[in-house]
Chains A and B, each alone.
Chain A
Amino acid sequence: MHELGITRNVVAIVGEAAQGRRVHRVTLEIGKLSGVVAEAVRFCFELVAQGTPLEGARLEIREIDGRGRCGGCGSEFAMPELFTACACGARRTQLLAGEELNIKTMELEEAA
């Protein structure tokens, strides 16, 4: 359950960047091959955000599909698993997408 630690990182980084202002929305990018389960982060978020500038904020997670480039034939293909092999049979692959673990944006609330 490293998702609890991951969620704490998110709340700490965003909380610091918000400099005391209330955070209304946070957008994350989590790759499906990152080893972090988006659903578990959602589960932890509300609890971890309590008592911080992120309390009550909406969490939006964009999950990114795994994609790789074959080290043999050079073609790009979908990688639902870390060990998905290219149709040509070569095993060496370069991961192009799916390992993302990023905080994209935060939305701050400013009373009009």
Chain B
Amino acid sequence: MCDICGCDSHEHVHEDGTRHRHPHHDHRVVELEERIVGKNDALAQRNRAWLAQHAILALNLMGAPGAGKTTLLERTIRERLAGRKIVVVEGDQATANDGERIRAAGAAAVQINTGAGCHLDAAMVARGLADLVPPAGAVVVIENVGNLVCPALFDLGERRRVVVFSATEGEDKPLKYPHMFRAAHLVLLNKIDLLPHLDFDVVRAGENARRVNPDVELLQVSARSGEGMRGWYDWLEREMRAIAGSR
């Protein structure tokens, strides 16, 4: 078939009388069999190998805008990680606000602005790591762009994916954004201090997360009041010990 006009041959007359005279071309089909995000995955593997080599625990912290990711990090740094080797890669479409908040809390941070981009990718994280040069044994937290869709598709080279899901968002979020919750190792159900003022059903929220991801760990926290943060810190300790032990 001629792909210029859709006709069956290159030699005929059209209904309006014009002669079909497109140049004749040969087409050659080339098998590519390549993953569309293959380049990102390869870069993510490179990040992962470098992090493992330096016994660095890397977390990809994700969640909707306003879920409380930065507040959670600020409290975690102040209460638990101050004085330890912690660096933060901050992803936002614009502004340096979150990077400044993290530095004020006591951690080194590099701010990456993705502009129109809706997620961090492995190349951005590689640049962030090159900037910060985290020491061996450090914890690297990558705070992704606030978004429940796109970040789930892009491996950054992290060891664990943590999703912050807040009580102000509605219990059905895991079903509406299943990729994000399926990708998570840990879901932090945040803002539980607000539960008395909301219709949010904590049990149902947890059930929905487990429907999408039966093996996901769930913890209830309030980054604002500090309630439940102990469980999150214990989880962090466990992950840090696992990394140190694997060295």
Residues of A whose CB lies within 8 Å of any CB of B are 1-2, 4-6, 9-10, 13-14, 17, 24-25, 28, 34-36, 58, 81-83, 85, 91-92, 101-112
User: Is there contact, CB below 8 Å, between B31 and A2?
Assistant: no
25 contacting pairs across A/B (C-beta < 8 A): A1-B118, A2-B150, A6-B36, A6-B37, A13-B32, A13-B36, A14-B32, A17-B30, A25-B27, A34-B153, A35-B152, A82-B179, A83-B175, A101-B36, A102-B35, A103-B32, A103-B33, A103-B34, A103-B35, A106-B32, A107-B29, A107-B30, A109-B25, A109-B27, A110-B26
Smallest CB separation, A28 vs chain B (Å) = 7
User: Is there contact, CB below 8 Å, between B178 and A83?
Assistant: yes
User: Is there contact, CB below 8 Å, between B118 and A58?
Assistant: no
Q: State whether A112 and B32 are in contact (beta carbons under 8 Å apart), knowing that A1-B118, A35-B179, A83-B175 are contacts in the complex.
A: no
Q: State whether A2 and B119 are in contact (beta carbons under 8 Å apart), knowing that A82-B179, A83-B211, A102-B33 are contacts in the complex.
A: yes
User: Is there contact, CB below 8 Å, between A2 and B153?
Assistant: yes
| A36, B179: Cα distance in complex, Å | 11
| A104, B179: Cα distance in complex, Å | 24
| A61, B225: Cα distance in complex, Å | 50
| A17, B32: Cα distance in complex, Å | 8
User: Is there contact, CB below 8 Å, between B32 and A104?
Assistant: yes
Q: Which residues of A contact B27 (CB under 8 A)?
A: 24-25, 107-110
B214 close to A (CB within 8 Å):
yes
Residues of B whose CB lies within 8 Å of any CB of A are 3, 23-40, 116-119, 121, 149-150, 152-154, 175, 178-179, 182, 210-212, 214-215
Total A-B pairs, Cβ < 8 A: 97
Smallest CB separation, B113 vs chain A (Å) = 16
User: Is there contact, CB below 8 Å, between B25 and A111?
Assistant: yes
| A109, B116: Cα distance in complex, Å | 34
Given contacts A2-B154, A14-B32, A35-B179, 4 further A-B contacts (CB under 8 A): A13-B32, A13-B39, A34-B153, A108-B30
| A28, B119: Cα distance in complex, Å | 23
